[in-house]
A = this chain, B = another copy of it.
Amino acid sequence: MNIPDLLQQVPLFHGLDDQIIDHFCHHANHRQIKKGSMLCAPDDVAHNFYIIESGWIKLFRDTQDGQEAVLDIVTTYGMFGESSLFGKDTYGWYAEAVEDSNLLSIPVNILKDAIQNHQMFAVNMITAMSEHRRRLDGEIERFMLQNAPQRVGCFLLKLTPKSAWDGDNPCPPITLPYNKALVANRLGMTPETFSRALKALKKNTKITMSKSTIEIEDINSLAAYSCEACSNFFPCAEDTDKRD
How far in angstroms is the closest Cβ of chain B from A225? 11
A220 located at the interface, meaning its Cβ lies under 8 Å from any Cβ of chain B in the complex: no
The interface-forming segment of A32-40, A85-93, A163-171 is: A85-93
The 8 Å CB contact of A188, one of B84, B116, B119, B144, is B144
A136 to B188, CA, bound (A): 15
A9 within 8 A of B: no
B-contact 0/1 string along A111-154, CB 8 Å cutoff: 00001110100110111011111101101110111000000000
Kindly report how many copies of this chain are found in the complex they form together.
2
Bound together, the chains give a CA A131 to CA B89 distance in angstroms of 11
Complex contact A231–B86 (CB within 8 A): no
Choice from B61, B88, B145 contacting A63 with Cβ under 8 Å: B145
A70 surroundings in chain B (CB, below 8 A): 144
A230 in the interface, Cβ–Cβ < 8 Å?
Answer: yes
Contacts of A82 in B (CB 8 A): 130
- A103 at interface (Cβ–Cβ under 8 A)? no
Question: How many A residues are at the interface, by size bracket?
Answer: 35 or more
Q: What CA separation (Å) do A139 and B139 show in the bound complex? A: 10
Say yes or no: A87 contacts B122, CB within 8 Å. no
The answer to whether B62 touches A231, judged by C-beta atoms less than 8 angstroms apart, is yes
A227 on interface, CB distance cutoff 8 Å: yes
Distance of A131 Cα from B87 Cα, bound (Å): 7
Instruction: Using CB atoms, name the residue of chain B closest to A119.
Output: B116
Interchain nearest-CB distance for A112 vs B (Å)? 8
A233 interface hit (Cβ, 8 Å): yes
A 200-244 binary contact with B (CB < 8 Å = 1; else 0): 000000000000000000000000000111110100010000000
Flag whether A109 is at the interface (Cβ < 8 A). Answer: no
Query: Given A63-B229, A136-B137, list of 4 further CB < 8 A pairs?
Result: A71-B137, A116-B119, A122-B126, A139-B140
